[in-house]
Chain A
Amino acid sequence: MNVIPCSIQTLKGLYDISGVEVGQHLYWQIGGLQIHAQVLITSWVVIAILLGSVIIAVRNPQTIPTDGQNFFEYVLEFIQDLSKTQIGEGYGPWVPFIGTMFLFIFVSNWSGALLPWKIIKLPHGELAAPTNDINTTVALALPTSVAYFYAGLSKKGLGYFGKYIQPTPILLPINILEDFTKPLSLSFRLFGNILADELVVVVLVSLVPSVVPIPVMFLGLFTSGIQALIFATLAAAYIGESMEGHH
């Protein structure tokens, strides 16, 4: 409890070490609208990583796959399997959507934990996983809503809206509410988990700069993977749910 003897400089130094810049953004102005530049930059890096690795590995597929191709074949099979389990019949056209969702979130989350973003100093805010910005997670959750509406409507036409009074019309408000809670829970779950994970790591590093944060970092990697899987699985489950017939 030796607080009062601390000089202001000491406090400033401690604050700089534990500088958790929550909600600090680097703003760009585009046509009178503001944009979070750090999210945009990191998302470009993530997209570049994805496209680059895919192009290198899959450019020239071999019958007996090489290492990179083998990995991407495994990923594709994993995504196909996931889509098949959740959507069932007619899952084929949804594989790109589910797969991109999974890959983008996964690489985003891991980039936050593995890439040394902090080396690059920004005037405001800091570079981190794109998924620790609520804009990104909502931007991923809303297309999911659109996707499952599209899936239901294209499969069953206007009869899709019959599910709102299933199994009884009393549940109509709850069924309508579900359409709002789905994207809300999707986006907030991802946002909260990734932000919390990064905060925990940063705070722990500021308190004990060595060894102790390492297990938490591994836990963070694990959580990141799980969150990507959960997001993709739930998106697929919502699509499958709106496509399946009710008897």
Chain B
Amino acid sequence: MASTVMASSSAATIHFLRRCSQNPSRAIPKSIRAQIGRDEKPPLLIRRLTTLLKPSAAAAAVAAAIAATPMPALAEQMEKAALFDFNLTLPAIALEFLLLMVALDKIYFTPLGKFMYERDAAIRAQLGDVKDTSGEVKQLEEQAAAVMKAARAEISAALNKMKKETTAELEQKLAEGKKRVEEELAEAIAALENEKEEALKALDSQIKLLGDEIVSKVLPST
């Protein structure tokens, strides 16, 4: 493991150094270039670089040894390494971004946003309708209550009327009955009076007879 790490790191160093030796003016940063004279030769340059970059001594030795033998295929791959390399890519990507924004706005954000808004509105409207229906139900309930009330009032009125009528009828019948009774009573009384008078009359005539009898009995006939 450790040797692998070592090897790969030293390999990287080798490539950096190789790049430097192949093409010093392009690959080496300006600051380093300033320190190295333009007409200095690669071996010295490598020595300077190894001290500048400070890899481990063993790696540097290997690097120096390998750098001496040319490897054109690899060296060709290592052209300039540019991390902060601003060029036409920047405006190109910016333009692409703006176009993508317009396109996504046209086919995604605006239509789907509108669609979702409309669906929300529709759902809300339906919910509102449901609430309105509950109001209607309330109204209907009130109507039903009113109808019931009216019906009850009607019934009670009819009942009252019937009661009154019945009472009146009954009273009339009662009155009639009373009247008849009174009439009969009066007749009976009159009949009794008559009988009484007749009886009294009969008694009167008998009284005379009896008086005469009594007188004739008390007083010796003379």
Chain A residues at the B interface, C-beta cutoff of 8 Å: 1-4, 6, 8, 10-12, 14-15, 17-18, 20, 22-25, 30, 33-36, 39-40, 43-44, 47, 50-51, 54-55, 58, 61, 63, 69, 72-73, 76-77, 80, 95-97, 99-101, 103-104, 124, 130, 133-136, 138-140, 142-143, 206-207
Which of B31-39, B73-81, B135-143, B174-182 makes up part of the contact surface? B73-81
Whether B107 is near chain A, meaning CB under 8 Å from some CB there, is yes
10 A-B pairs with C-beta separation under 8 A: A3-B7, A3-B62, A15-B11, A39-B93, A40-B92, A58-B112, A73-B116, A96-B104, A100-B105, A135-B87
Task: Say yes or no: B85 contacts A23, CB within 8 Å.
Answer: yes
**Is B28 an interface residue, CB under 8 A from the partner?**
no
CA distance A63 to B123 in the complex (A): 10
B89 touches A136 (CB 8 A): yes
Complex contacts, A2 vs chain B, CB 8 Å: 3
Most B CB within 10 A of own CB, among A20, A23, A43, A100: A100
Q: Is the CB of B4 within 8 A of A207?
A: yes
- Per-residue 0/1 for B55-80: is the Cβ within 8 Å of any A Cβ (1 yes, 0 no)? 00011001000100101001001011
Q: Within the complex, what minimum Cβ distance (angstroms) separates A58 from chain B?
A: 5
Q: In the bound complex, do residue B100 and residue A206 qualify as a contact, i.e. CB atoms below 8 Å apart?
A: no
- Most A C-beta atoms less than 10 A away, residue of B58, B96, B111: B96
In the bound assembly, the distance between CA atoms of A10 and B83 in angstroms comes to 28
Given contacts A11-B14, A43-B96, A124-B77, contact A54 B4 (CB under 8 A): no
Report whether A100 and B66 are in contact in the complex, using a CB–CB cutoff of 8 Å: no
**Residues of A contacting B2 with CB < 8 Å?**
1
Q: Indicate if the CB atoms of A76 and B113 lie closer than 8 Å.
A: yes
Judged by a CB distance under 8 angstroms, whether B26 is at the interface is no
Return the contact of A136 from the options B71, B77, B93, B111 (Cβ within 8 A).
B93
Which of B58, B69, B110 meets A3, CB within 8 Å?
Answer: B58
Say whether chain B's binding surface is mostly helix, strand, loop, or mixed.
helix
State A147–B108 Cα separation when bound (angstroms).
21
Task: Specify which chain B residues have a CB less than 8 angstroms from the CB of A61 in the assembled complex.
Answer: 111-112, 115
Please tell me if B10 contacts chain A, counting CB pairs below 8 Å.
yes
Is the beta-carbon distance between A18 and B58 smaller than 8 angstroms?
Answer: no
Residue interface bits B95-108, CB-to-A below 8 A is 1, else 0: 01110110111011
Chain B neighbourhood of A34, CB < 8 A:
87-88
Interface centre among B80, B89, B93 (most CB of A within 10 A): B89
Inter-subunit contact B96/A47 (CB<8 Å): yes
Q: Are A96 and B89 in contact (CB under 8 A)?
A: no
- Cβ-closest chain B residue relative to A142: B94
- In the assembled complex, the CB of B205 is this many whole angstroms from the nearest CB of chain A, namely 126
CB-contact partner of B97 in A77, A95, A100, under 8 A = A100
User: Are B69 and A54 closer than 8 Å at their CB atoms?
Assistant: no
| B220 at the binding interface (Cβ < 8 Å) | no
What is the minimal beta-carbon distance from A128 to any residue of chain B, in angstroms?
13
User: Contact check: which of A25, A96, A142 meets B101 at CB < 8 Å?
Assistant: A96
Collect the chain B residues with CB atoms within 8 Å of residue A72's CB.
108, 112
Contact status B100-A14, CB under 8 Å: no
Q: Which residues of B contact A143 (CB under 8 A)?
A: 94, 97-98
Are B81 and A23 in contact, with the CB atoms below 8 A? yes
Cα distance A3–B2 when bound, in Å? 10
A-B pairs, top 8 by smallest CB distance, nearest first, are A135-B89, A23-B81, A139-B93, A15-B11, A96-B105, A139-B94, A100-B101, A33-B88
B219 within 8 A of A: no
Set B74, B91, B113: member contacting A139, Cβ < 8 A: B91
Query: In the complex, A10→B7 CA distance in Å?
Result: 9
Q: Is the CB of A54 within 8 A of B108?
A: yes
List A contacts of B1 (CB < 8 A).
Answer: 207
Quick one: which of B14, B66, B79, B92 contacts A124, CB cutoff 8 A? B79
* Minimum CB–CB distance for B193 against chain A, Å: 108
A24-B81, A130-B93 given as contacts; is B8 within 8 A of A14 (CB)? Answer: yes
